[in-house]
Amino acid sequence: MKPRFTVVWSPSARKRLAELWLDNPEIRQEITDVANEFDAALANQPTSIGIATPGRARLVTRPPLTALFLVFEEDRQVRVIYVKLWDE
């Protein structure tokens, strides 16, 4: 199935994801796997995952990560704007 949306990580979210990966060698594979799961889910059904927050953003948690993202229906784009370890 062809992705319906393009997923873009903001520079700050991409940087934070890299920091989390470098700082947590014991869970690097889990971080990689969940980031990839986020990309796939957001590309196909971004409004059906996570929960709505005040404003336009949505929040999704799949241990070990939590991500905040925006959906731009008109541009068919999802922008991940923040990521952290889920228990931070």
Give residue 84's pLDDT. Answer: 98
Q: What is the pTM assigned to this prediction? A: 0.92
| 82 and 13 Cβ atoms separated by less than 8 Å | yes
Give residue 17's pLDDT. Answer: 98
Distance of alpha carbon 75 from alpha carbon 56, whole angstroms: 15
Give residue 55's pLDDT. Answer: 87
Q: Among 50, 42, 35, 37, which Cα is nearest to 7's?
A: 42
Token pair recorded at residue 34: 């969940």
Structural domains of the chain ordered from first start? 6-85 (3.30.2310.20)
**84 backbone dihedrals φ, ψ, rounded to 5°:** -155, 170
pLDDT digits (tens, 9 = 90+) for 16-60: 999 999 999 999 999 999 999 999 999 999 999 999 999 899 999
